[in-house]
Amino acid sequence: MTAIDASHSGLSATRAAFRTCRFTGLKVDIAAQRLIMANAVAAVVFLAVGGLMGLLVALTRWPAVHLLPSEWFYLVLTGHGANVLLFWIIFFEIAILYFASAVLLGSRIAAPKTAWAGFVLMVVGAILTNVAVFQGDSSVMFTSYPPMQAAPNFYLGLIVFAVGALIGVGIFFATLVVAHGEKTYEGSIPLVTFGALTAAIIAVFTLASGAIILIPTWLWSLGLIAEIDPLMYKVIWWGMGHSSQQINVAAHVSVWYAIGALTIGAKPLSEKVSRTAFLLYIFFLQLASAHHLLADPGMSATWKIVNTSYLMYLAVLGSLIHGLTVPGALEAAQRRNGFTKGAFEWLRKAPWGNPAFSGMFLSLVMFGFIGGISGVVLGTEQLNLLMHNTIYVPGHFHGTVVAGTTLAFMAMTYYVLPLIFQRDVIWPKLARWQPYLFGIGAGGISLFMMGAGTLGVPRRHWDMTLTDSMHPFDLPSGGFLMMGLNGMAAVIAAAGGILYILITVGTVLWGKRLDKGEAPLTFPLHKKAATVAEYGSHATVKLPGTIILVSIFFLSFVLYYFVNWKYLSEIWLLR
């Protein structure tokens, strides 16, 4: 290092204040820590608002309860989508980006003041959109398809929020550059940071798509542009809408790896394979806009097939790889921890009482079995006809975004609280149950909505009895049963969600302070998490448990895929 470099880094070191985490040995930039805390708190606030709205939606769609009047139902459903799918998830993702860059690399965060400006923009945007929704003239659903029009502030809020998020993503990239330049780590960035980098790269594409379509739509709502083509809008809007779900996938897969490392000391089976899987996301996930246009006019079959399959399912391949390497890494770690009996001792004796581990594992299983399989089936060109815009679609994405992403983020919170907020988790007994409660509820709503959708129940629909319409007809009674079960599952999920909010807020306010004294963690880290020196890929290990689990998954996938082709072959002929 030259003298100039040394003085430069010395200068920045005086500007940034650090503490050393006594549990992990990580060097934590105080400015980064504050930003992570602010983004996490904002995330939880919007989860509380959006989650409550979700419960109201589910209770209205429960035929026997039918809670809200129709105007309120459509208003609340619009707010539910924006608050949980955008605000909760993206605030939490910005927190993850700062954690994966500044904290994991032991670096100062780049330009903290700009990062705060981004945070303020995100908060202002989120509030602006919420106000527009509650004023009542923006019940256009989260997707806001033209020619249906919302109030200008509905779009403006989303644009301002996206600009703020883009600044956060920029801070992440800049922090990587700073860490690299100041040599705060050796060799390559950790796998979790690599996953976060994947999420950030996809986020740039996504937010750019959002800007390209929402800015003209906003101008249109102000009367400055005459027309927005509905088909063009859908193509570009879903470049944001679906691709942003791939930010979630990259982020929550990173969280899976991180929690595996923190709780049982898991290392990737092979860095090369896991990183290549993330790389496949970057290359191919952006094609997903097509998933929303399979039943639309105008697109050729070739366009649909190439795009909907992410060019021959290469992004799905990325997820399938993680589907083996994540449980594989867990099994290998547990075997190294001494649980070597039979095929499944490693799983039986996993730390199921630690909500971070249980939440992560439930998220992994449900994302794969429910969200993943249903996503591929739904995204198959012809099969889409069977479920397009039925409530099967929300069933699918509650499997990915609620049972997958949200549950993974909740699990991660049980380490964000002690390691970043430096407060020990309160009510450990309740915390132990929280992921199960939320997981069962989220899995339930996904499956029951999928069931109702295969019976033809439409999505975003206030009255499935259709009794007030001009030419009423009956939807299958099984659909009503499914929507009732969905309501019950939503109540369970809401209980888990409320518990999460209470534990989180309670811990931040009243949890035992960990920055002073030597108190241990209620939910301990694996001892390997404290030794930064020991890392790298596993030596060759046999993984019979993982092979069995993955085989079960693959058989379910193939079976479900062909069952749907059989259904399709029985409907009216179309060409």
Partner 1 sequence: MAITPPSNRLWWNEPIERVEIGWIVVAFLWGLFMFFFMIAWHFIGGQNLSTETYRITPAAYEQKVIDFAEKYQVGEEVGTPVVRPPVGEDVYLLARLWEWWPLLELKKDQSYRIHLSSLDWQHGFSLQPVNINISVHPGYEQIITLTPTQAGDFGIACNEYCGIGHHLMTGRIRVTE
Sites for partner 1 among residues 193-222 (CB under 8 A): none
Shortest distance (Å) from residue 260 CB to partner 1: 7
Q: Is 27 helix (H, G, I), strand (E, B) or coil?
A: strand
27 counts as binding partner 1 under rule CB under 8 A:
no
Residues 219-238 that bind partner 1 (CB under 8 A): 229-231
Residues 245-304 that bind partner 1 (CB under 8 A): 257-258, 260-262, 265-274, 293-301
448 counts as binding partner 1 under rule CB under 8 A:
no
DSSP one-letter code for 142: T
Residues 320-379 that bind partner 1 (CB under 8 A): 320-321, 324-325, 328-329, 376
The region of 116-124, 150-158, 180-188, 338-346 touching partner 1 under the rule CB under 8 A is 180-188
Among 406, 459, 483, 503, which residue sits at the site for partner 1 (rule: CB under 8 A)? 459
Q: What interhelical angle do 191-221 and 271-284 show, nearest 10?
A: 10
Cα separation, 244 vs 338, whole angstroms: 40
> Which lies closer to partner 1 via its Cβ, residue 434 or residue 546?
546
CB 172 within 8 A of CB 112: no
Residue position matching structure tokens 């581990």 = 357
The region of 216-224, 403-411, 457-465, 510-518 touching partner 1 under the rule CB under 8 A is 457-465
Among 49, 189, 197, 494, which residue sits at the site for partner 1 (rule: CB under 8 A)? 189
Task: Go through 189-200 and write b for each residue having 16 or more CB atoms within 10 A of its CB, e for each that does not.
Answer: bbbbbbbbbbbb
> Which lies closer to partner 1 via its Cβ, residue 203 or residue 360?
360
476 counts as binding partner 1 under rule CB under 8 A:
yes
137 counts as binding partner 1 under rule CB under 8 A:
no
Q: Is 226 helix (H, G, I), strand (E, B) or coil?
A: coil
389 counts as binding partner 1 under rule CB under 8 A:
yes
Burial class (CB in 10 A: 0-12, 13-18, 19+), 43: buried
Residues 510-529 that bind partner 1 (CB under 8 A): 528-529
Q: For the chain, what is the largest distance between any 2 Cα atoms, rounded to a whole number of angstroms?
A: 83
Q: Is 84 helix (H, G, I), strand (E, B) or coil?
A: helix
- Picking from 70, 163, 154, the residue whose alpha carbon sits closest to that of residue 121 is 163
The region of 15-23, 66-74, 86-94, 361-369 touching partner 1 under the rule CB under 8 A is 66-74
Binding-residue total with partner 1 (CB under 8 A): 113
Residue position matching structure tokens 């429960």 = 62
Shortest distance (Å) from residue 163 CB to partner 1: 27
The region of 32-40, 113-121, 213-221, 562-570 touching partner 1 under the rule CB under 8 A is 562-570
> Which lies closer to partner 1 via its Cβ, residue 147 or residue 520?
147
Shortest distance (Å) from residue 360 CB to partner 1: 12
463 counts as binding partner 1 under rule CB under 8 A:
yes
Cα separation, 217 vs 228, whole angstroms: 7
Cα separation, 356 vs 122, whole angstroms: 28
Residues 392-431 that bind partner 1 (CB under 8 A): none
CA angle 395, 401, 402 (to 5 degrees): 75
Task: Please give the C-alpha separations between residue 337 and each of 23, 192, 237, 332, 375, in angstroms, as whole numbers.
Answer: 19, 22, 47, 9, 35
